[in-house]
């Protein structure tokens, strides 16, 4: 009976949290993400650059990050503004039951968006493997999203967390185009990049190590954020 009750309420739970994390403006975020992606592709086409899988990876990464930015940075702020944060803290293991589900929802939506953008790229410009593209994009998305979530629990203010997250991403982008461009420590390492001076086996191992590093860092960021939510008195 309990399991039936849980499954019966799942759609309601997902629908409610869906509205909360995107503040009822989900479709506007999707439209904005698609518009940005098409705009970036138009700029590439207008400039006469050769389109390839490596370039599509970079173009998809931008709108995907923008989609997860708002819900991960402003999620707790939205709960506080809606006057439901104190109610949520009354739920046993709130941090895992509520925000664990929300993070899963955010990344599930991001995966669907990346698949959608990949098919748009196939239709209009360049043949790519949408599932391979989505698999490679999700790793930097996990790190940026969980890092933003962690900052939101540390700063406890949406605007402050947004500033810190944007500054951090800019720094990571600067490093990614410099000495760390082909390093396993590059958060935005492009697995489709072609580097003739690097042995294919070494490059393959670098990509695998990079994904492991991103996954471990993402787990650390998410656990740090979830554990910070345990300190109820600092949020209310």
- What Rg, from alpha-carbon coordinates, does the chain have? 19
Provide the domain count of the chain: 1
Domain ranges, residue 186: 2-234
- Whether 136 shows a pLDDT value over 90: the answer reads yes
- With a pLDDT cut of 70, the percent of the chain lying above it is 78
**Cβ-based neighbour number of residue 196 at 10 Å:** 4
What's the CA gap between 135 and 184, in Å, rounded?
Answer: 17
pLDDT of res. 1: 42
pLDDT of res. 150: 92
**Distance linking the first and last C-alpha atoms of the chain:** 35
What's the CA gap between 13 and 149, in Å, rounded?
Answer: 21
Q: What is the mean pLDDT of the chain?
A: 81
**Which CA distances in Å does 217 have to 111, 132, 192?**
19, 22, 22
Whether 226 contacts 95, CB under 8 Å: yes
What's the CA gap between 21 and 221, in Å, rounded?
Answer: 19
pLDDT of res. 196: 65
pLDDT of res. 71: 85
CA 151 from centre of chain: 14
- Whether 95 shows a pLDDT value over 90: the answer reads no
Burial of residue 221 (CB within 10 Å: 0-12, 13-18, 19+) is buried
- For residue range 143-197, list pLDDT tens digits in order: 999 999 999 888 878 788 899 999 999 998 888 877 778 889 999 999 988 776 7
- For residue range 50-89, list pLDDT tens digits in order: 778 888 898 899 899 988 888 888 777 766 656 666 656 6
28 vs 118, more confident: 118
- For residue range 31-55, list pLDDT tens digits in order: 888 888 888 888 877 777 777 888 8
- Whether 17 shows a pLDDT value over 50: the answer reads yes
């Amino acid at each position: 009976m309990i399991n039936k009750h849980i499954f019966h309420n799942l759609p309601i739970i997902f629908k409610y949290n869906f509205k909360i994390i995107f503040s009822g403006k989900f479709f506007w975020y999707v439209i904005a993400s698609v518009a940005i992606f098409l705009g970036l592709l138009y700029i590439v086409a207008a400039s006469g650059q050769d389109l390839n899988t490596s370039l599509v990876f970079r173009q998809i990464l931008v709108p995907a990050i923008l989609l997860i930015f708002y819900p991960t940075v402003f999620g707790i702020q939205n709960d506080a503004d809606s006057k439901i944060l104190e109610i949520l803290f009354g739920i046993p293991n709130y941090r895992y039951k509520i925000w664990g589900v929300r993070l899963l929802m955010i990344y599930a939506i991001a995966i669907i968006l990346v698949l959608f953008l990949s098919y748009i790229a196939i239709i209009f410009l360049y043949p790519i493997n949408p599932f391979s593209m989505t698999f490679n994009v999700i790793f930097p998305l996990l790190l940026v999203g969980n890092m933003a979530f962690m900052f939101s629990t540390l700063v406890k203010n949406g605007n402050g967390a947004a500033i810190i997250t944007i500054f951090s991403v800019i720094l990571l982008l600067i490093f990614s185009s410099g000495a760390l461009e082909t390093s396993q420590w590059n958060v935005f390492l492009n697995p489709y990049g072609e580097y003739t001076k690097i042995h294919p086996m070494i490059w393959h191992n670098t990509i695998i190590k990079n994904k492991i590093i991103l996954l471990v860092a993402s787990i650390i960021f998410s656990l740090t954020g979830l554990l910070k939510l345990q300190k109820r008195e600092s949020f209310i």
